[in-house]
Amino acid sequence: MTSTRRTLTKHSDVVRAARAARGGWVLAGVYASTEAGRGAARRIPRAERMPAYAPAGTFEAYDARHEDGTAVWVRYTAGLPKPAPRPTSMTYRVCDRGTGSGYVGVSVRSIVLSAECPRCGGPRGSAVPQRFHEDGDWYTVDKWDNPCGHVDTYTSVLAEYLRDRKLALDALRDHADLDEVGDGEYDEPVALLNALALVLRSASARDASRFLELGGYGEAGRRVEEERTARETRMTLRDAARYLPELAAARDACTKCDGGWVDYRGRDGEFVSLRCGTCRREARAHA
């Protein structure tokens, strides 16, 4: 693939395809430079120096790793029901048949993967449960089709998951003193992120969310993603590690709510509970 092709992306064609896809993600271009890709992903929603995407607020965009550089994906959202936010990771149940050549039977493993196809950065497909019978037992695994057309095999995704898992475990072993980790709300997930920051270069907040999910800290990962989408500037994994203690401290200091919820009494006497914007709790704590 030549750089000519990349620079000659006709954004008017992308816009036409994205409108036709009605909220589906469309590849807008592949940039040789990471900075150029990130810049385009930032400017497209604002239609800033990219007039094909006008008016501002008509498109969403994101950048992701692509085999040939940095991909930018866009979706058209104007006038459509608010689309689901992009997931920060995908959890699938897959068949694990071991790595040797002999038959060792099958086990089902739940794995956490990047939400994007490793080849083109397009969104991965939704899990569809599928039951099968083998050696006298029934199993349920997930199948999925990636909209980009690239096929994930169980072997390749298991390897992808185990690589992430090993990276996290090695980082913790080499760079975290687990005896020193406090018992604050996010101390454990922050220790994981700080360890990862020392071994991963230029990791993003979305990488942070994926590793948090993988480590069993899904709620922390969702708070990071919430903060990332609210920020105007790019948020890194290190920023995520700084943000979580700030959120924990804000929750400790909050006097506006009851366990993350604020009750309002309407004129009709009915109570309405609203999520506290400071605490950003996920579910109502039942007393």
The residue ranges that bind Zn ion (CB under 5 A) are: 117, 119-120, 122, 148, 150, 254, 257, 276, 278-279
> What's the closest the beta carbon of residue 122 comes to Zn ion, in angstroms?
4
Nearest residue (CB) to Zn ion, 39 versus 260: 260
Alpha-carbon distance values, 228 to 77, 91, 162 (Å): 19, 21, 26
Give which of 281, 282, 284 is closest to 272, Cα–Cα: 284
> What's the closest the beta carbon of residue 123 comes to Zn ion, in angstroms?
9
Nearest residue (CB) to Zn ion, 25 versus 53: 25
Residue type, 240: A
**Contacts of residue 165, Cβ cutoff 8 Å, sequence gap at least 6:** 214
* β pairing state of 26-31 and 271-275: unpaired
> What's the closest the beta carbon of residue 121 comes to Zn ion, in angstroms?
7
Query: Residue 181 and residue 191: Cα distance in Å, rounded?
Result: 7
Nearest residue (CB) to Zn ion, 24 versus 52: 24
Query: Residue 261 and residue 256: Cα distance in Å, rounded?
Result: 9
Nearest residue (CB) to Zn ion, 91 versus 278: 278
Nearest residue (CB) to Zn ion, 61 versus 196: 61
Give me the phi and psi of 285, to 5 degrees please.
Answer: -80, 120
Nearest residue (CB) to Zn ion, 45 versus 122: 122
> What's the closest the beta carbon of residue 124 comes to Zn ion, in angstroms?
8
The structure tokens listed for 89 are: 């990771």
> What's the closest the beta carbon of residue 184 comes to Zn ion, in angstroms?
17
Nearest residue (CB) to Zn ion, 210 versus 251: 251
* β pairing state of 107-114 and 89-96: antiparallel
Q: 242-254: buried (b, 16+ CB within 10 Å) or exposed (e) per residue?
A: ebbeebbeebeeb
> What's the closest the beta carbon of residue 225 comes to Zn ion, in angstroms?
20
From the CB of residue 159, how many other CB atoms can be counted at a distance below 10 Å?
12
> What's the closest the beta carbon of residue 276 comes to Zn ion, in angstroms?
3
